[in-house]
Structure 1
Amino acid sequence: MATSTIVSNTENVRFSPPALDPADKTRSRDNLTTHSNTLQLLKYLALDQKGKVMAEYVWIDAEGGVRSKTKTLSKAVTSADELPEWNFDGSSTGQAPGDNSDVYIRPVAIFPDPFRKGDNILVLCETWDSDGTPNKFNHRHEAAKLMETHADQHFWFGLEQEYTLLGSDGWPYGWPKGGFPGPQGPYYCGVGTGKVYCRDIVEAHYKACLYAGINISGINAEVMPAQWEYQVGPCEGIQMGDHLWMSRFLLHRVAEEFGAQISFHPKPIPGDWNGAGLHTNVSNDATRAEGGIKAIEAAMKKLEARHVEHIAVYGEGNEARLTGRHETGSIDKFSYGVADRGGSIRIPRQCAKDGKGYFEDRRPASNADPYQVTGIIVETLCGGV
């Protein structure tokens, strides 16, 4: 079983929601802690744990969301191998029937906890059924086997996670209720009031990822207002999916403290707006070597031959996004080109100039499972098609 060693980080990060302005009606108050209650919470968070450690077990549910619950450990740990297997009620998460509801969670990677800090940890888990087989929603298991089989090729991935910030009413922040903001243009990488929204949540998530040892490499505001992107990677092999899933957990958890919702829907608002993707940057030893552009061109033929199979695991609702408009290729046709954001695959201009490097698969939707995405890419490129 693949494991990850805990990443140490001594940076002191606190998440204290701002004091409420009674006149501010732009953000949901449903889950937002008041300033007074936050101060009380901080007092309790500072209490001595008497050598005990809180481990937040995190797993992926039937809907591609994240769930978690906490276990008390008797001492600090440095590896997922030291942690016990646990279980949960799978009938309440859509992962098991009520008459055989126990689903087991097996730790595979651990990260420092940016909320509780100290020796407390976040624990990423795989889900397993009582008969000893992977749960049907456990896509990590097969991906890990593929990565291990082809480890000698040293696949590197970088994922660009787009998402939209919504209020409690399900409407994007900064959008007039029941209406629309001005046309796209000033929002991408925007700065200033009326151009970007919820930067506080985005910055808090960025710092939480850094504290937790997530290999987050950057953030930016996206083309549609209230939409943002962060990038994770480069990561090798199965670590890509591990880091991306834990970054999603942290995003939901941070947004919870601000009373916001996170949407990974690939087309959250129908109409003349950009959708949301999980652009996937890929390279291996062959593409990074001198003359690697030939390996990239060979990869295009293999990817084209399995376009339908890739689309099948590249996210739900992706047909609303991959229309050939709004910087996407058509869902029905494979295409690629240098610096072409309207294709299925973009080869960066610098890579074409250097004659080596990586390519960007622009087809995956923002809600796609990174284990399935990276797994099928390795399977296709190593399958001899």
Structure 2
Amino acid sequence: MSYKAEYIWIDGTQPTARLRSKTKILADGAELPLWGFDGSSTNQAPGKSSDCVLKPVFTCPDPIRGGNDVLVLCEVLDTDMTPHPSNTRARLREVAERFADQDSWFGIEQEYTFFKDGRPLGFPVGGFPAPQGFYYCGVGADEVFGRDIVEAHLEACLEAGLAISGINAEVMPGQWEFQVGPAGPLEVSDQLWVARWLLYRIAEEFDVSATLDPKPVKGDWNGAGAHTNFSTKAMRAGYDAIITACEALGEKSQEHIAGYGAEIEHRLTGMHETAPWSEYSYGVSNRGASVRIPWQVEVEKQGYIEDRRPNANCDPYVVTRLIVGTCCEALEKAGLA
């Protein structure tokens, strides 16, 4: 007997990396080996020296094929077994290990938009639907588009054992969100990448594409983000640590903006529940701020914060690395770690 292992990796496409995958057949009981691919076809190597290495780092059941088949998320290495320049996971691992004693938790809200025939699902041919307002968490065929795909994706994530914690329809027709977490920085990032792969793969079966474009429709329509909820054990125990983390994020605001996804300025305009990309702010229950402190966190004087700036197309390995590095270093310096 044998089983199928779908090796998944993140390519070197700029400014936004893409997912790639291919299937390996293994004998029952066989361990997952290193594998390889043609990096010249994925923007990760020149043709004259094209070999890249796949190193398995996260495995889960394959909910599409079923049986003993698995999904295998991989890091990309050069042939000398060092991390490839496109391997952002390796950089996160170093920071996560440095601040592991602070026990960082993340929950990431992944927004995305379905497209079919060149337009968002639910948009009429050659025109626009009714203005946004009733689509968010809506119900009914005139407000919700693509629920069958969303439900299939949710079931797949659950069968795969991913830490998916919810779904909802978003503000624009054909726009949805799923949430992953709470989990540590490496865990939440690995699982978000696999959940993205499952989203694309399942949408294939409905002849629909899913995009993480941060501004899929220009004009008076919400963009798509990846709001990132974050806490450390100190933040979960006291409000001083919450404020320290918010202040620290402001001190490195532009470094974070640069790492939060391509074309972020198209989404963070100061409209549609965003703060301007060029300004930093934080506030309680304020969805127009860069960072929101939930109202119950202020009441209870402990909890978490929501960084509302990351784009839907962000690399979660980069986002979590920046947040852990900035906030945990500040908490350490303040004696709040």
Aligned residues: 328
> Alpha carbons of 1:155 and 1:102: their partners in 2 closer, same or farther (altered >3 Å)?
same
- 1:174, distance to aligned residue in structure 2 (A): 1.1
SS at match of 1:294: helix
| Structure 1 CA distance for aligned equivalents of residues 277 and 10 of structure 2 | 27
Query: CA contact under 8 A between 1:221 and 1:229: conserved in structure 2?
Result: yes
Query: Structure 1 length normalisation: TM-score?
Result: 0.84
Q: CA deviation at 1:382?
A: 2.5
Preserved contact between residue 281 and residue 290 of structure 2 (Cα < 8 Å): yes
Contact persistence 1:76–1:119 (CA under 8 A): no
Partner residue, 2:53: 104
Aligned to 1:365: 311
Q: Quote the Cα distance in structure 2 between the aligned partners of 1:237 and 1:370.
A: 8
One-letter amino acid of the counterpart of residue 159, structure 2 = Y
Q: 1:65 aligns with which of 18, 23, 38?
A: 18
- Secondary structure at 1:117 match in 2: coil
Residue 116 (structure 1) shift: 1.2
> Contact between 2:102 and 2:328, CA under 8 Å: does it hold in 1?
no
The structure with the larger Rg is 1
Is 1:227 the counterpart of 2:175? The answer is: yes
**Is residue 212 from structure 1 mapped to residue 165 from structure 2 by the alignment?**
no
Q: Deviations over 1:204-249 (max 9, x none)?
A: 0000000001100000000011100000000123101011000000
Is contact 1:267-1:276 (8 Å) kept?
yes
Stretches of structure 1 that go unaligned for 5 or more consecutive residues are 1-50
Measured in 2, the distance between the counterparts of 1:94 and 1:73 equals 28
**How big is the shift at 1:256?**
0.6
Mapped pair 1:142 → 2:95: no
Alignment of 1:152 with 2:101, yes or no, is yes
The 1-side partners of 2:303 and 2:132 are apart by 32
Match of 1:236 in 2: 184
Task: State whether structure 2 residue 322 is matched by structure 1 residue 376.
Answer: yes
* RMSD, aligned α-carbons: 1.0
Contact 2:104 2:184 in 1 (8 A): yes
Distance 1:170 1:85 in 2: 38
Q: SS at the partner of 2:97?
A: helix
SS of the residue corresponding to residue 329 of structure 2 reads coil
Listed as ranges, the gaps of 5+ residues in structure 2 are: none
Moved over 4 A (4+): none
Per-residue Cα deviation, 1:139-198 (whole angstroms, up to 9, x for no partner): 00010121112111110000000000001x321011012211111111000000110001
Q: Quick one: distance in 1 between partners of 2:11 and 2:209?
A: 18
SS in 1 for 2:229: strand
Query: Going by fraction, where is strand more abundant, 1 or 2?
Result: 2
Partner of 2:150: 202
CA-to-partner distance for each residue in 1:60-110, whole Å, 9 max, x for gaps?
Answer: 112322111111111246xxxx32100000111111111111110100010
Instruction: Give the Cα–Cα distance (whole angstroms) in 2 for the partners of residues 190 and 297 of structure 1.
Output: 35
State the match for 1:56 in structure 2: 6
CA distance in 2, matches of 1:364, 1:76: 40
Q: 1:209 touches 1:250 (CA, 8 Å); kept in 2?
A: yes
**Identity among equivalent pairs (%):** 55
CA deviations on 1:246-288 (whole Å, 9 max, x unpaired) are 0000000000111100110000100000000000000010000
What's 1:120 paired with?
69
Equivalent runs, 1:141-290 vs 2, <5 Å: 141-167=90-116, 169-289=117-237
Counterpart-to-counterpart distance in 1, 2:111 and 2:246: 24
